[in-house]
Structures are given as structure tokens and as C-alpha cells.
């Protein structure tokens, strides 16, 4: 069997050396661990992921502070003190996060009294945030179900379709678990990214299925060709998102950095899922499943 000739000088992989069980075990274990983490967090905190101020309520304020000891000045200026202080690269600006139930007008006054310049205020009250939570969750569920229906309608065969749906599911779940592990909070940007993952993840899966199901030629030949293209696609997107995340984080553009970061998680997971989970399911179906 020929080995996959991967782009970017990646080491060659010969799938025929590994059994389906070996291949599928890795992504399934990762998925299982991710689900365990999420359910653990869900049981202890009541939400599947750490929620940011847009969902729990709270205030995010950007202030410019001049002079030395900016952090100390900030600590003294506010009552209650901010729960998080994030400096913005290249400026004397800080992004302060306050918990729920603090009046943003009062915070603005405190900042001005301390001689800070208020650059922006983003305040959400708890009940508005609760509504946003329901909408965000609903949005992800609707998008996922819609995607599943569409995938089944396009392929009209069970195993290849469920392979796509399962790997998309894992592509969403693993980033969420990673957020929990790394202490990253869910923002509106991350919700957008999770929805984008549904779109991106399906890209490479559809490509793989399409090559295997609809082309002449052997399984390995088709699959390897799909891999060459698919890996280029995913790596290109990862590169773009890594760079965007780094730049946006440095400049404190929260929306762009959270979209970028979650997409990096999701796309990386997608490499694993497409070329181990989806690939082995397809191989099983092609060589054994069809004859049953």
C-alpha cells in the first residue's frame, strides 16, 4: 500500500499499518476525556463552561492610566476591586473586569475621579446575560442539528454521514473542554467560533467522504489525495487564526482573539478527528461494513 504523501514535508503515514481499532481509539479517548471534563464542570458550577461577563452579567472597562504603578493605582481606585486586570500591548491601557451587580455608571465615576481616561465600557446585567446564554446554547444546538440533517441528506448512507456528524460533535466538545482546562471564559466571540467550527470541520470531512465514496480508484489512493488537500486547508486556516489571535490579544480586541483561539482549538481537533475517526469509520465501512 502506498503511504500518504503529505504536504509541508510532514512525515509519511501508512494507514494500512494500523487497525481500525487502533486508529479510532485515540479520538474516542480524547472525546471521552473532554466529555468527562465538561460534565465535571457542569456538575460543580452549573454551566458546561466558564461564562464570561456577556453571559453572567458584569462590566468590562478599558482605562488609560498614566504614571507608574498602574496596577496598584487601579487596585486603589475601584470599590469593589476589579476581578481581572489585563494590560493592552504598547499602550498604558488596561482592560478591567468587574463582577455582576456593579453599576457601570459608578465605576465610570470612580475611574474619572482617579484620573484615568475611560476608553470603553461594556456592561451587561445578569438577567440580560441569562437570556443571551439560552440564545447562544439554542443557536449552537440548532446549527448542529441543521448541519446533521444536511449531511445525511447529502450522503444518504449511514456510516459516512454519522462519521461526519460525530467528528463535528467532537470538534465542538474538545475546544469547550480545553477552555475549561485553560480557564478561558465563554464570550460571544467563542460562540461564533463554535458555530464556525461546524462549518470548517465539515469541509475536510466532506472532502474525504467525497473522494472515497464518489471517485474511482482504491480507498487509500482516494483517501490520501483528500488528505493532501484537507491538511493544506486546515493548516492554512490554523495559521491564519493563530496569527489573528496573537495580534488581537496583544491589542486587546477581545472579539477577534476569542474567535481566533477557539477556531485554532477546533481546527486542530478536526485534524485528529477527520484523519483518525472519520478515516477509520470510512475504511471499516468500505472494506467490511458494505458487505454486511
Partner 1 sequence: MADEESTWDRIKANWRVVLLVVILLASTFALFSPTPASGGSAASTAGNNTTADSGLTNIEYGLELSGGTRIQAPLVGVHASGVEIPNDTSTSAVRSTVAANIENATASDVRVRYAGEYGDTIQQTTIVEVTAGNVTAAELDAALSEAGYPADGAVDRVSDVTQRTAVSILRQKVNQAGLSGGSVRTVGGDVVVVEVPNANQSEVRDLVESRGQVLIQAYHQNENGTYVRTTVMDSDDLRQVGNAQQTQGGQGAEVGVVVAEDSAQEVQQRFVDTGLAQQGGTECRYRETPNQTEPCILLVQDGEVLNSFGVRETLAQPMRDGTWADDPRFSLTTGNLSTAQEVAINLRAGALPAELDLTSNSMLYIDPSQSERFKTDSLLAGVAAVLAVSGVVFARYRRIEVAGPMIVTALSEVVILMGAAAAIGYPVDLSVIAGFIAAIGTGVDDLIIIADEVMSQGEVSSQRVFQSRFRKAFWVIGAAAATTILALSPLAVLSLGQLRGFAIFTILGVLVGVLITRPAYGDILRALLTGEH
> Considering only residues 237-276, where is the footprint of partner 1 by CB under 8 A?
237, 239-244, 246-248, 251, 253, 255-256, 259
157 binds partner 1 (CB under 8 A): no
Q: Are the beta carbons of 26 and 276 closer than 8 angstroms?
A: yes
**Cα–Cα dist 117/130, whole Å:** 31
Helices (H), ranges, the chain? 20-45, 53-56, 70-77, 104-113, 126-155, 158-182, 188-214, 219-251, 254-272, 279-287
161 binds partner 1 (CB under 8 A): no
**Cα–Cα dist 285/166, whole Å:** 15
**Residues forming a β-bridge with 47:** none
137 binds partner 1 (CB under 8 A): no
Provide the pairing of β-strand 84-87 with 93-98.
antiparallel
Q: Give the range of 30-38, 41-49, 102-110, 284-292 binding partner 1 by CB under 8 A.
A: 102-110
Q: Give the range of 28-36, 39-47, 68-76, 205-213 binding partner 1 by CB under 8 A.
A: 205-213
Local structure of residue 13 (DSSP, 8 states): B
The minimum distance between CB 83 and partner 1, in angstroms, equals 19
Q: Which of residues 30-49 bind partner 1 (CB under 8 A)?
A: none
Binder of partner 1 out of 236, 287, 288, 290 (CB under 8 A):
236
The minimum distance between CB 158 and partner 1, in angstroms, equals 17
Query: Of 277, 128, 256, nearest to 208 (Cα)?
Result: 277
**Cα–Cα dist 262/258, whole Å:** 6
The minimum distance between CB 18 and partner 1, in angstroms, equals 25
The minimum distance between CB 97 and partner 1, in angstroms, equals 15
Q: Give the range of 33-41, 71-79, 111-119, 275-283 binding partner 1 by CB under 8 A.
A: 111-119
119 binds partner 1 (CB under 8 A): yes
54 binds partner 1 (CB under 8 A): yes
Amino acid at each position: 500500500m502506498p503511504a500518504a504523501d503529505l504536504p509541508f514535508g510532514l512525515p509519511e503515514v501508512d494507514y494500512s499499518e494500523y487497525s481500525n481499532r487502533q486508529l479510532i481509539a485515540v479520538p474516542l479517548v480524547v472525546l471521552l476525556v473532554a466529555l468527562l471534563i465538561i460534565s465535571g464542570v457542569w456538575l460543580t458550577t452549573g454551566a458546561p463552561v466558564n461564562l464570561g461577563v456577556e453571559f453572567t452579567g458584569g462590566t468590562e472597562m478599558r482605562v488609560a492610566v498614566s504614571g507608574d504603578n498602574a496596577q496598584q493605582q487601579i487596585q486603589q481606585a475601584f470599590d469593589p476591586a476589579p476581578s481581572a486586570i489585563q494590560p493592552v500591548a504598547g499602550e498604558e491601557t488596561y482592560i478591567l473586569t468587574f463582577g455582576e451587580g456593579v453599576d457601570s455608571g459608578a465605576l465610570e465615576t470612580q475611574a474619572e475621579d482617579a484620573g484615568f481616561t475611560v476608553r470603553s465600557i461594556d456592561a451587561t446585567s445578569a438577567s440580560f446575560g441569562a437570556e443571551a446564554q439560552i440564545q447562544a446554547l439554542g443557536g449552537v444546538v440548532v446549527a448542529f442539528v441543521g448541519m446533521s440533517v444536511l449531511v445525511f441528506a447529502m450522503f444518504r448512507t449511514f456510516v459516512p454521514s454519522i462519521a461526519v456528524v460525530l467528528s463535528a460533535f467532537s470538534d465542538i466538545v474538545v475546544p469547550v473542554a480545553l477552555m475549561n482546562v485553560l480557564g478561558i471564559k465563554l464570550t460571544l466571540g467563542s460562540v461564533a467560533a463554535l458555530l464556525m467550527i461546524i462549518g470548517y470541520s465539515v469541509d475536510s470531512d466532506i472532502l474525504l467522504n467525497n473522494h472515497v465514496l464518489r471517485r474511482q480508484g482504491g480507498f487509500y489512493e482516494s483517501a490520501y489525495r483528500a488528505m493532501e488537500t484537507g491538511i493544506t486547508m486546515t493548516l492554512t486556516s490554523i495559521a491564519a487564526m493563530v496569527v489573528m489571535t496573537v495580534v488581537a490579544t496583544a491589542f486587546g480586541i477581545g472579539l477577534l482573539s476569542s474567535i481566533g483561539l477557539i477556531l485554532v482549538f477546533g481546527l486542530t481537533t478536526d485534524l485528529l478527528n477527520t484523519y483518525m475517526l472519520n478515516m477509520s469509520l470510512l475504511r471499516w465501512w468500505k472494506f467490511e461494513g458494505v458487505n454486511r
